[in-house]
A and B are shown apart, each in its own frame.
Chain A
Amino acid sequence: MRRPRLCCLDLDTFFVSVERVLDPRLNGQPVIVGGQPGQRGVVAACSYEVRRLGVRSGMSLTDAGRRAPRAIYLPARQDTYGEFAEQVRTIARRYSPVVQVASIDEMYIDFAGCERLYKKGEDRSDDATIERVVWEMIHDIQDSLGLPASAGIASSRSTAKIASGQAKPAGVLLIPAANEAGFLAPLELRKLPGIGPVAAGKLESVGFRTLGDIATAPLVELRAVLGAWAELVKQSAQGEGVSSLGPERPAFKEQDEDGAVVSSISNERTFSRDVRDTEVLESMLCALSERVCWRARKRGVKGRTVSLKLRTGGFDTLTRSRTVGSATDAENEVYEVVRALLAAARPRLVPVRLVGVALSNLVLDKQLPLLSQRGELQETVDAIRDRFGYESVRLALGKTGKAHKKPGI
């Protein structure tokens, strides 16, 4: 399996840096972007020179004016910053095809599987290769745009983000897989993205001081403070969590974000006009089964109950379920069940307005396989989709609108 390698690239004092590129006289000067002191508004960015005085992004301009009266105050020019940010992304995409924009000055770049592409004789290890390439990218951004950036590389999003913070200014910090837990353990709670002042306060009041405390705490104790969020926070503190960047974003967030615990996974489709043809319905069910199973595999869960939802042209809605012997995440198995359910639920060829497929009674699939259930084919298909999107590989049966044969996985 490929080792996950996520790089969080963060542009240092981005707006200030852009202003300095446009007006080099600002170099070395205390600069605050956002407006003039006394104006309504907040500090959008500030240089390291004024951070020493206690100025922070998000602080009101009045407050900032009090702390740094002699700084150079500039209005924010969002369009200009946007253009620069786009150029940075263009450079990043030269290094890896999978770039996920998190904000105007922050992005995640997936370097998983790039080791051999970039390997050079002098690299002592795969880690060294990736670290060198990320340095090249940082220098590239500095040389061609004049913008300083920092990067963190780790096997999960949150650890990479924390590492990029530690790497500032203009540095690169790669956390080897074996050291991730050790790197995170001594850090204060607020370093973890998602733990704000309120959560940190609550956690501290019951004795948690560092991320290491969280990583080793029993889940029950964390639940008492953080509720449903506990599992995710604990995972992040252990250096686990989102480890790859599928290009699947908002359009397909559906109802289960990574790590969220939901009781079922379902997809449904309303036809543009009512359908009577069983083959068309089956084709759609195949496509929906494929989608549902792919989402289940991405979340690492399997379902024991398969359900079919059917809405007729007359707006009668019915649901039929079947519980299978062992939990599944395989489309061919789910498809066979919903096909049988459809046949039983629709004795006459009534026109159908909507069909849906759901997988419920979910169990976490933590058991490692001794013999792979679907062989390498399925794993390869999922790996391709992780990188190039769900639509890059599809079962033909679900695509054509006509059922030709059973899916052959």
Chain B
Amino acid sequence: MEISVHVPELSKALQRVQGIVEKKSAMPALANALIRTEGKNTITVVATDLEIGVTGRYAANVAVEGSISLGARALYDIVRSLPEREVSLKQLPNRWVEISCGKVNYRLVGSDPDSFPNIPDEEDIKMFPVEPGLVRDMIEKTLYAVCTDETRYNLTGVFCEADPDGERLRMVATDGHRLSVIERPMKHLPQLDTGVIVPRKGLTEVKKLLEDKVEEASMGYTQTSAIFKKDGVTLTMRLVDGRFPDYNQVIPESLEREVVMNRQRFQDALRRTSLLSPNKEQGVKIELESGKIMLSANNPDLGEAREELEVGFEGDPITIGFNFRYLLDALSVLEDDEVVLSLTDELAPGVLTGKTSVGYKAVIMPMRI
């Protein structure tokens, strides 16, 4: 194989695979990127960790057709530091690959491209157009709540389902302590009878993919995998094979107390108070009474913090504890200037929503205080 590529183009292609390649796998091919020619003007760059695969098509001048498999990290580090605009990759005997760019020369040891794992071809899956910004926003508002503990496998992804009337897409994530749910109207909805769990790592890549300015993207599902496409890049991921818990029963329907707060001020006060929260527990105490909300934290080794905010609240007072991290996570994805914190009692979940925006809810279980 011998090709010549625009450096920024190849750099973008290789950046895209960095989140997917497995550096510590027992299978060396999983740390590699596969570069394959397609006709005279196109190459595809492929990477997989066996759960997620990415395939991107990029412009190139193909002199000799073929394919090479190279360590993705090293190749990316080389390409992005190259001085000139054009780089050529040439296959040498014994799987050596020569990279030349102006007067710069590298020789890299490649692997057998035939041992590169196959990414399932999903050509026949029905794809639906989606609005990139909308999907990215939905991912952002749920991804933070996904469980990172592999022993709770069924919670390690975001649950996606169509709402019963088939007009909105709903995405739900939980780690067992807090839950995030968002619902948005969508013109074209894939048929999701039971809902699917899309893995965290895959959605992180989707979010990155949708961050570039793009007008069009599409997605599709099968029983076992999800596919996202944009600009010649295809992300294929194996769905989490598990049953998502019945999340509806933990979302409180009506709450006794509601307090409206300025998001920024609440966030700042929480950050300041949290400085004296006990190291491992991350608890802050919230006391709500008529006209004010008080945040306090008590670290037995350091001391105490206390901050008061004036709020327009009338109702029975309540004292409740929360992991401040969970509150801050939810606050950081809300865009409203005003947020609403709804509480029932000190043992029941609290709900954080935007005051004007609709469709997003963060449900947070309290801590004992």
Give the CA-CA distance A364 to B281 in the complex, in Å: 7
In the complex, what residue of chain A is closest to B155 when comparing beta carbons? A371
B152 at the interface (CB under 8 A from A): yes
Contact B304 A368 (CB under 8 A): no
The residues of B that contact A371 with a CB separation of less than 8 Å are 155, 174, 176, 245, 250
| Cβ 8 A contact of B148, one of A326, A328, A372 | A326
Contact B174 A366 (CB under 8 A): no
Contact B367 A366 (CB under 8 A): yes
Give the CA-CA distance A96 to B369 in the complex, in Å: 31
B126 at the interface (CB under 8 A from A): no
| Cβ 8 A contact of A370, one of B152, B176, B281, B300 | B176
A393 at the interface (CB under 8 A from B): no
Contact B178 A370 (CB under 8 A): yes
Shortest C-beta distance, B317 to chain A (Å), equals 15
| Cβ 8 A contact of A366, one of B148, B245, B368 | B368
A370/B368 contact (C-beta < 8 A), A326-B148, A326-B149, A364-B280 known: no
Contact A367 B303 (CB under 8 A): no
Interface 0/1 of A212-248, CB less than 8 Å to B: 0000001110010000000100000000000000000
Contact B151 A333 (CB under 8 A): yes
Contact B148 A370 (CB under 8 A): no
B10 at the interface (CB under 8 A from A): no
B132 at the interface (CB under 8 A from A): no
Contact B150 A325 (CB under 8 A): yes
In the complex, what residue of chain A is closest to B363 when comparing beta carbons? A370
Shortest C-beta distance, B159 to chain A (Å), equals 12
The residues of B that contact A368 with a CB separation of less than 8 Å are 177, 347, 365-368
A369 at the interface (CB under 8 A from B): yes
In the complex, what residue of chain A is closest to B365 when comparing beta carbons? A370
Shortest C-beta distance, A397 to chain B (Å), equals 18
Q: Would you list which residues of chain A between 340 and 374 have a CB under 8 Å from chain B?
A: 363-364, 366-373
Q: Would you list which residues of chain A between 300 and 348 have a CB under 8 Å from chain B?
A: 325-326, 328, 330, 333
B349 at the interface (CB under 8 A from A): yes
The residues of B that contact A326 with a CB separation of less than 8 Å are 148-149
B220 at the interface (CB under 8 A from A): no
The residues of A that contact B245 with a CB separation of less than 8 Å are 371
Shortest C-beta distance, A138 to chain B (Å), equals 34
Contact B179 A370 (CB under 8 A): yes
Contact A370 B177 (CB under 8 A): yes
B53 at the interface (CB under 8 A from A): no
Give the CA-CA distance A220 to B155 in the complex, in Å: 39
Shortest C-beta distance, B146 to chain A (Å), equals 13
The residues of A that contact B178 with a CB separation of less than 8 Å are 370
B283 at the interface (CB under 8 A from A): yes
In the complex, what residue of chain A is closest to B249 when comparing beta carbons? A371
The residues of A that contact B110 with a CB separation of less than 8 Å are none
Contact B281 A363 (CB under 8 A): yes
The residues of B that contact A366 with a CB separation of less than 8 Å are 281, 283, 321, 367-369
Q: Would you list which residues of chain B between 143 and 163 have a CB under 8 Å from chain A?
A: 148-152, 155
Tell me the dominant secondary structure on chain A's binding face: mixed
Give the CA-CA distance A326 to B150 in the complex, in Å: 9
Shortest C-beta distance, B214 to chain A (Å), equals 34
Give the CA-CA distance A346 to B174 in the complex, in Å: 39
Q: Would you list which residues of chain B between 133 and 148 have a CB under 8 Å from chain A?
A: 148
Shortest C-beta distance, B9 to chain A (Å), equals 38
Contact B149 A367 (CB under 8 A): no
The residues of B that contact A330 with a CB separation of less than 8 Å are 151
| Cβ 8 A contact of A218, one of B283, B298, B365 | B298
Give the CA-CA distance A223 to B148 in the complex, in Å: 36
Q: Would you list which residues of chain B between 325 and 369 have a CB under 8 Å from chain A?
A: 347, 349, 363-369
Contact B349 A370 (CB under 8 A): yes
B37 at the interface (CB under 8 A from A): no
| Cβ 8 A contact of A220, one of B148, B150, B304 | B304
The residues of B that contact A219 with a CB separation of less than 8 Å are 298, 300
| Cβ 8 A contact of A367, one of B148, B152, B347, B365 | B365
| Cβ 8 A contact of B250, one of A364, A370, A373 | A370
B323 at the interface (CB under 8 A from A): yes
Shortest C-beta distance, A377 to chain B (Å), equals 15
Shortest C-beta distance, B27 to chain A (Å), equals 21
Give the CA-CA distance A372 to B152 in the complex, in Å: 11
Contact A370 B149 (CB under 8 A): no
Shortest C-beta distance, B304 to chain A (Å), equals 6
Q: Would you list which residues of chain B between 196 and 235 have a CB under 8 Å from chain A?
A: none
Contact B304 A218 (CB under 8 A): yes
The residues of B that contact A325 with a CB separation of less than 8 Å are 148-150
Contact A363 B347 (CB under 8 A): no
Shortest C-beta distance, A58 to chain B (Å), equals 36
Best-surrounded residue of A218, A231, A364, A370 (most CB of chain B within 10 A): A370
Contact A369 B148 (CB under 8 A): no
Give the CA-CA distance A248 to B250 in the complex, in Å: 35
The residues of A that contact B298 with a CB separation of less than 8 Å are 218-220
In the complex, what residue of chain A is closest to B348 when comparing beta carbons? A368
Interface 0/1 of B310-321, CB less than 8 Å to A: 000000000001
The residues of B that contact A372 with a CB separation of less than 8 Å are 176
The residues of B that contact A367 with a CB separation of less than 8 Å are 177, 281, 323, 365, 367
Contact B367 A370 (CB under 8 A): no
In the complex, what residue of chain B is closest to A300 when comparing beta carbons? B368
The residues of A that contact B174 with a CB separation of less than 8 Å are 370-371
The residues of B that contact A231 with a CB separation of less than 8 Å are 300
Top 10 closest pairs, chain A to chain B, by CB: A370-B365, A363-B280, A366-B368, A366-B367, A326-B149, A371-B176, A368-B365, A219-B300, A367-B367, A370-B250
Query: A residues near B, CB below 8 A?
Result: 218-220, 223, 231, 325-326, 328, 330, 333, 363-364, 366-373
17 A-B residue pairs with Cβ-Cβ distance under 8 Å, sorted by A, are A325-B149, A325-B150, A330-B151, A366-B321, A367-B367, A368-B177, A368-B365, A368-B368, A370-B174, A370-B179, A370-B364, A370-B365, A371-B155, A371-B174, A371-B176, A371-B245, A373-B176
Known A366-B281, A367-B177, A373-B176; 7 more pairs at CB < 8 Å: A218-B303, A219-B300, A330-B151, A366-B369, A368-B365, A370-B363, A371-B245
